[in-house]
Amino acid sequence: MLFDRDDTLIRDVPYNGRPELVEPVPGAARALELLRTHGVRLGVVTNQSGIRRGLLTAEQARAVNARVAELLGPFDVWEMCPHAPGDGCGCRKPRPGMLLSAVSRLGVRAAETVMIGDIGADMGAAAAAGCRGVLVPTSVTLPAEVEAAPAVAADLPGAVLLALRTEGRP
């Protein structure tokens, strides 16, 4: 299972380079523990354009990622796109590059993988990579993104339960 980082696993602090500001969303630790109990491999795929924009360094972004793992437990794979929207890279969501890399590194098939995120770019990347998508809307999620999402859950624990049920797990 793959997760967006900001506003999906942790509260979004724009261009955050400070680990002490990391705050998990409600229910995140419980949801991830449920997945680990079921033997689900976990990955994070996160756009971090603040690196390209000079607002934080890659080292600062990795320190924030380390704090996420400290608070929420280990992830099997981390993928981070440092590019700005206009750079034309293949990794920045909604393009599928990070998801395809994560799936390959996890040794699973994209069709067996669920991507959970909070905006349309997450769902677009999931579709482009051949993964299933579950949207967890926040205050920044556009109504059209909710309408277009293949599946929607009210919160992260609900998204995890929905994903597990669609895989035939209890």
Look at residue 67 in the predicted model and tell me its pLDDT: 98
Whether the per-residue pLDDT at 146 is higher than 80: the answer is: yes
User: Which residues are tagged catalytic?
Assistant: 4, 6
pLDDT in tens, 80-134: 999 999 999 999 999 999 999 999 999 999 999 999 999 999 999 999 999 999 9
pLDDT in tens, 3-26: 999 999 999 999 999 999 999 999
Look at residue 165 in the predicted model and tell me its pLDDT: 85
Average pLDDT estimate for 124-145: 97
Look at residue 96 in the predicted model and tell me its pLDDT: 98
pLDDT confidence tier of residue 166, bands split at 50, 70 and 90: confident
The structural domains of the chain, ordered by start, are 2-166 (3.40.50.1000)
pLDDT confidence tier of residue 163, bands split at 50, 70 and 90: very high
Cβ–Cβ < 8 Å for 110, 130:
yes
pLDDT in tens, 27-84: 999 999 999 999 999 999 999 999 999 999 999 999 999 999 999 999 999 999 999 9
- Give CA separation, 127 vs 58, 59, 71, 138, in Å: 27, 30, 29, 20
Record the pTM. Answer: 0.95
Contacts of 168 (CB under 8 A, 6+ apart): none
CA distance 63 to 17: 7
Look at residue 169 in the predicted model and tell me its pLDDT: 54
Whether the per-residue pLDDT at 168 is higher than 70: the answer is: no
Whether the per-residue pLDDT at 170 is higher than 60: the answer is: no
CA distance 74 to 135: 22
